[in-house]
Amino acid sequence: MEKKDLIIRVAGEGGEGIISSGDFIASACARAGLEVYTFKTFPAEIKGGYAMYQVRASADKVWNQGDTFDVFCAFNGEAYELNKHLLTPGTAIVYDYPGGDFEPEIPEGVAGYPIPMSATAKELGSYRAKNMVALGALSVLFNIVEETLIRVLTDKFAKKGEKVLSINLAAFEKGKELAAALEKKDEWALAEAQDPKDVIIIAGNDAVGLGAILGELDFFSAYPITPATEVAKYVSIHIPKIGGTLVQAEDEIASISQVLGASYAGAKSMTATSGPGLALMSEMLGMAAMSETPLMLVDVQRGGPSTGLPTKHEQSDLFLAIHGVHGDAPRVVLSVEHVQDCVEMTIEALNLAEEYQTPVILLSDGSLAFSTQTIPTPKPGSYKIVDRKLWDGQGTYKRYQLTDDLISPMANPGTPGAMHISTGLEHGEDGAPKYAPENHELMHRKRFDKIKPIVDRYPPAELDGVEGEADIGIITWGSTIGVVREGVARLVEQGYKVKAMYPKLMWPMPVDQYEAFNSTCKQILVPEVNFQGQLSHFLRAETSLKPIPYTICGGLPFTPAMIVDKVKEMV
Amino acid sequence: MSVAALHKVEMTPKEYKSDVAPVWCPGCGHYGILNGIYRALSELGVDPLNLMVFSGIGCSSRTPYFIDSYKMHTLHGRAGAVATGAQLASPEKAVLIVGGDGDGFSIGGGHMPHMARKNVNMTYILYDNGIYGLTKGQYSPTSRPEMTAYTTPYGGPEEPLNPLLYMLTYKATYVAQGFAGKPRDCAALIKGAIEHKGFSYVNIFSQCPTFNKIDTVKYYRDLVGPISEDHDVTDRGAAMELARREPNKKVPVGLFYKEDKPTLDERVAEFVTRVGGKPDYDLNKVLDLSRP
């Protein structure tokens, strides 16, 4: 397969401008009409520690972070040490030398470009401009459109005053000069600029916030938690613009409680958290299910359990999202693949909560949270927005009336003739507590059966790969889908009979779709980033499938190469 | 509480009663508090349609069932947090929270300071009987150490907390204390709390004849005394001094403190004004911020 993309990894000490360098490259690529997918890792500490930012850019759609880098830019010795095993023939390294804290050994077949980043920045009077020296060098060496890069830098630094701007631009120029004096020893170059597209470039967490705004959210209650806090940050900036409210609660129990109360009062309401927060919220999610109160929650998963790996990637909250509650309580659980999903499925999740009067959990994950991606600019007003079914004022109002679709009309406070109690106690149709055995069974059936139609109404899971019979069928979820897409494409091109299924409605499970997929595959492989194989578990429990789990949990996502290798090993 | 919800209807106290009758034990102080609530709602002409009553779990948390209004019977300890969300989402409505000392200060204790300091525009009526009644009589955060109970057969090993000092410390803007044995006084304090714009807290001693055998009606009658008329209700320091519990000192009942300051919903509404918020705001302007 011809390689059309370029993957640049910048790494060094947190606080050295690694993240801003990556952002500049990503923005410049997007301005040049390229598709961008970024991937970052950073320490849980505020200052220091190893930080890494990888930009993958291509004229074609990019679905994941890629296998490894083509070009590595090392800001310090630690970054070099952590990445040197990836310096395989064909790759290139740009490194801080002389004047840095290390002198790398350049392996045979690797193009090495020493650039005195630290020394040059010091000469210019600002050590903080080190990353600009690196950027200048990268732009010359790898054809990162200089014009767009300078525009991005100017836009960014102009806000910080003339002096800061001029030092940074000077550092950038110096980096260019230094690189121009070196002999180009590799073939790597960014794709040629394309016609500008109508895109935005946005990170997963911000995109969830954007979805909330486009989804006409009224109320958001937040409690800070890595890696979900940016959702609240984005919403806090923009929700007042549509007349809504964001408050920060004293803990996650309070934030989910406030969301429930706001929803009861008639507001479209949500919160965002990560696994530890979701664990604290589980009792109130039971109350929302019991009282049939619409409520939406985004869980940006991180490495667990307990404090775990707060800044690292994992998909290990599927058990908690689906079954983390006392008693029998229905939920709807969705998962997002990429940043565009973060926008659109947040709107969908809000809609489903309102329509089915039930808690809806949207699962994102740590790598998607901070991954910036180019996506077609969303069109405000073009999305279907669903509000709760309200009582029509006819007859006697019963909050939990057994209607044909089992969805009882709601009456927001203030509605004449419909005063009622919403309670966590088991209740009859009128909302009054009722403990009769037959009533508990009846009401359980109501609450569970009302969400069943979602399975048929929700768009079927996307299928990928070969048509008809396949040797291997891959089922995966969340951001792992983007990795599998590329793995499957490579395998199919190499003649392997591989297909894939990408469910986004995790619960209730589309059992018939899984069975149909299974009937065309000799073996089912389920890659996911958790220890126990959580989706495999649900497939075994709920379907006749015999999935082969492929689990990793090292804090990093899969790569397409890992999928390819695994399938080849199985066939 | 929201002024918009007041003086909307003319209803007798009885007309605020729902079809459900209380099932508290005979002699329970909660009956007196409930009557005080009916009376206060009537005197203020609170429109039941625009009244939301929240409770957690406990004997007193059954109160919403007995009031004709919109209401929510939530989880143990969470009434205040749920009510906060409802109040912010619907600031024109009247919001009342009812519950007990265990619900409010033990399992729900983490929420109490924040309702107060944020000045959420709602009224919290705490039925303080120094016992967990619904679980058959365990010591609570306001139980006296000498009380033997279900899980404290040798007496309580802990110091009780002081609800009024707690609320004054965290800057509740209306703080009062009453005794269920004086329902008219309770009604007046509850009325003042509901009329107050901001977070109002009323602590009401309520005897539990079934499980709390030491805090009897006679005990409370001997314990409490009126606040002297020269107490300045705008002086938080003086209020805190009054709230200090000392041996052989009468425990004051009446209004301790009252302050007018912006409520949380008013402050949040300022943000909307500041950014020019409106339902048809041009969201393309938001999207433009994410252009590369």
**Rounded-to-integer distance, Cα B2 and Cα B196, Å:** 8
How much is the pLDDT for B64?
A: 98
Q: How many CB pairs under 8 A join A and B?
A: 185
Q: What is the mean pLDDT of chain A?
A: 96
Half-sphere exposure of A368 (CA within 13 A, CB side): 36
- Residues paired with A390 in a beta bridge: A410
User: Residue range A134-138: average pLDDT?
Assistant: 96
Q: What chain A residue is nearest to B70 in terms of C-alpha separation?
A: A419
Half-sphere exposure of B143 (CA within 13 A, CB side): 27
Q: What is the mean pLDDT of chain B?
A: 96
pLDDT in tens, A120-133: 999 999 899 999 99
Half-sphere exposure of B135 (CA within 13 A, CB side): 14
Residue type at A24?
F
Here the tokens at position A268 are 């479209």
Helix (H, G, I), strand (E, B) or coil at B142: coil
Return residues 101-160 of B near A (CB < 8 Å). 110-111, 113-114
Q: What chain B residue is nearest to A285 in terms of C-alpha separation?
A: B75
Backbone angles phi, psi at A371, to 5 degrees: -75, 120
pLDDT in tens, A261-308: 999 999 999 999 999 999 999 999 999 999 999 999 999 999 999 999
Angle formed by the axes of helices A204-214 and A339-356, to 10°?
40
Here the tokens at position B101 are 């000392």
User: Which runs of consecutive H residues, i.e. helices, occur in chain B?
Assistant: 30-44, 79-89, 101-102, 112-117, 163-169, 183-195, 217-223, 236-243, 264-274, 284-288
Whether A1 has a pLDDT exceeding 60, the answer reads: no
Backbone angles phi, psi at B208, to 5 degrees: -115, 90
User: Residue range A102-109: average pLDDT?
Assistant: 95
**Rounded-to-integer distance, Cα B63 and Cα B53, Å:** 9
* Distance to chain B for A128, nearest Cα, Å: 23
User: Cβ–Cβ of B85/A422 closer than 8 Å?
Assistant: no
- Cβ(A10)–Cβ(A52) below 8 Å: yes
* Distance to chain B for A377, nearest Cα, Å: 7
H or E element, residue A97: none
Q: Quickly tell me which residue has 């007349």 as its tokens.
A: A243
User: Residue range A551-556: average pLDDT?
Assistant: 94
Q: Is A174 on the interface with B (CB under 8 A)?
A: no
pLDDT in tens, B76-120: 999 999 999 999 999 999 999 999 999 999 999 999 999 999 999
CA separation, residue A48 to residues A43, A76, A256, A313 (Å): 8, 12, 34, 20
How much is the pLDDT for A380?
A: 97
Give residues with Cβ within 8 angstroms of A377, minimum separation 6.
A198, A199, A200, B287
Whether B13 has a pLDDT exceeding 60, the answer reads: yes
Burial B233-250 (b: 16+ CB within 10 A, else e): beebeebbebbeeeeeee
**Rounded-to-integer distance, Cα A59 and Cα A343, Å:** 23
* Distance to chain B for A481, nearest Cα, Å: 25
**Rounded-to-integer distance, Cα A136 and Cα A181, Å:** 13
Give residues with Cβ within 8 angstroms of A457, minimum separation 6.
none
Helix (H, G, I), strand (E, B) or coil at A472: strand
pLDDT in tens, B197-223: 999 999 999 999 999 999 999 999 999
pLDDT in tens, B170-204: 999 999 999 999 999 999 999 999 999 999 999 99
Which residues of A are less than 8 Å from B271 in CB distance?
240
User: Residue range A355-368: average pLDDT?
Assistant: 97
pLDDT in tens, B15-66: 999 999 999 999 999 999 999 999 999 999 999 999 999 999 999 999 999 9
Residues across chain A: 571
Q: Is A420 on the interface with B (CB under 8 A)?
A: yes
Which residues of B are less than 8 Å from A28 in CB distance?
292
pLDDT in tens, B231-285: 999 999 999 999 999 888 999 999 999 999 999 999 999 999 999 999 899 999 9
How much is the pLDDT for B1?
A: 65
Q: Is A269 on the interface with B (CB under 8 A)?
A: yes
Q: Is B170 on the interface with A (CB under 8 A)?
A: no
How much is the pLDDT for A431?
A: 93
Q: What is the CA radius of gyration of chain A?
A: 26
Assigned domain for B10 exists: yes
Assigned domain for B289 exists: no
Whether B3 has a pLDDT exceeding 80, the answer reads: no
How much is the pLDDT for A432?
A: 92
pLDDT in tens, A178-232: 999 999 999 999 998 888 899 999 999 999 999 999 999 999 999 999 999 999 9
pLDDT in tens, A465-514: 999 999 999 999 999 999 999 999 999 999 999 999 999 999 999 999 99
Assigned domain for B165 exists: yes
CATH class of A201-376: alpha beta
- Minimum-distance CB partner of A413 among B50, B75, B281: B50
Q: Is A290 on the interface with B (CB under 8 A)?
A: no
pLDDT in tens, A419-474: 999 999 999 999 999 999 999 999 999 999 999 999 999 999 999 999 999 999 99
Q: Of A482, A484, A466, A471, which Cα lies nearest the Cα of A562?
A: A484
Helix (H, G, I), strand (E, B) or coil at A270: strand
* Distance to chain B for A471, nearest Cα, Å: 42
- Cβ(B53)–Cβ(B63) below 8 Å: yes
Angle formed by the axes of helices B30-44 and B183-195, to 10°?
50
H or E element, residue A30: helix A18-31
**Rounded-to-integer distance, Cα A185 and Cα A182, Å:** 9
* Distance to chain B for A220, nearest Cα, Å: 9
Angle formed by the axes of helices B79-89 and B264-274, to 10°?
40
Q: Of A370, A45, A13, which Cα lies nearest the Cα of A227?
A: A370
**Rounded-to-integer distance, Cα A44 and Cα A28, Å:** 28
How much is the pLDDT for A500?
A: 98
pLDDT in tens, B117-152: 999 999 999 999 999 999 999 999 999 998 999 999
User: Cβ–Cβ of B89/A266 closer than 8 Å?
Assistant: yes
User: Residue range A336-347: average pLDDT?
Assistant: 98
* Distance to chain A for B102, nearest Cα, Å: 17
How much is the pLDDT for A14?
A: 85
Residue type at A96?
D
Domains in chain A: boundaries: 6-180, 201-376, 389-452, 460-570
CA A69 to mean position of chain CA atoms: 21
DSSP B186-249: HHHHHHHHHHSSS-EEEEEE---TTT-SSS-HHHHHHHEEEPPTT--TT-HHHHHHHH---TT-
User: Residue range A150-155: average pLDDT?
Assistant: 89
- The fraction of chain A above a pLDDT of 90, given in percent, is 92
- Give the fold, CATH level 3, of A460-570: Rossmann fold (3.40.50)
* Distance to chain A for B149, nearest Cα, Å: 27
H or E element, residue A416: none
pLDDT in tens, A535-547: 999 999 999 999 9
Backbone angles phi, psi at A315, to 5 degrees: -120, 65
Return residues 307-366 of A near B (CB < 8 Å). none
Whether A328 has a pLDDT exceeding 60, the answer reads: yes
CATH class of A6-180: alpha beta
Q: What is the DSSP letter of A381?
A: T
Q: What is the count of structural domains for chain B?
A: 1
Fold match between A6-180 and A460-570? no
- Cβ(A211)–Cβ(A202) below 8 Å: no
Return residues 37-76 of B near A (CB < 8 Å). 48-50, 52, 54, 64-65, 68-75
- Residues paired with B251 in a beta bridge: B224
Q: What chain A residue is nearest to B275 in terms of C-alpha separation?
A: A241
* Distance to chain B for A209, nearest Cα, Å: 11
pLDDT in tens, A55-87: 999 999 999 999 999 999 999 999 999 999 999
- CATH of residue B155: 3.40.50.970
Assigned domain for B48 exists: yes
CA separation, residue A414 to residues A89, A198, A247, A419, B196 (Å): 71, 44, 24, 8, 21
Q: What is the CA radius of gyration of chain B?
A: 20
Whether B157 has a pLDDT exceeding 70, the answer reads: yes
Q: Choose from A145, A202, A258 for mutation: most chain B CBs within 10 A.
A: A258
Here the tokens at position A146 are 């200089």
- The fraction of chain A above a pLDDT of 70, given in percent, is 100
- Residues paired with A361 in a beta bridge: A297, A333
**Rounded-to-integer distance, Cα A203 and Cα A22, Å:** 13
User: Cβ–Cβ of A265/B90 closer than 8 Å?
Assistant: yes
**Rounded-to-integer distance, Cα A19 and Cα A10, Å:** 8
Query: Residue B87 sits in which domain range?
Result: 3-263
- Cβ(B41)–Cβ(B63) below 8 Å: no
Here the tokens at position A212 are 């909330």
**Rounded-to-integer distance, Cα B211 and Cα A273, Å:** 41
Q: Is B274 on the interface with A (CB under 8 A)?
A: yes
Give residues with Cβ within 8 angstroms of A434, minimum separation 6.
A426, A427, A428
Backbone angles phi, psi at A495, to 5 degrees: 95, 5
CA separation, residue B286 to residues A222, A238, A379, B273 (Å): 21, 7, 11, 17
Assigned domain for B152 exists: yes
Which residues of A are less than 8 Å from B284 in CB distance?
380
How much is the pLDDT for A531?
A: 98
State the pLDDT confidence band at A519, using cuts at 50, 70 and 90. very high
User: Cβ–Cβ of A238/B286 closer than 8 Å?
Assistant: yes
How much is the pLDDT for B225?
A: 96
Give residues with Cβ within 8 angstroms of A338, minimum separation 6.
A63, A204, A368, A373, A375, A479, A481, A482
CA separation, residue A71 to residues A5, A216, A561 (Å): 11, 42, 18
Here the tokens at position A213 are 């705004």
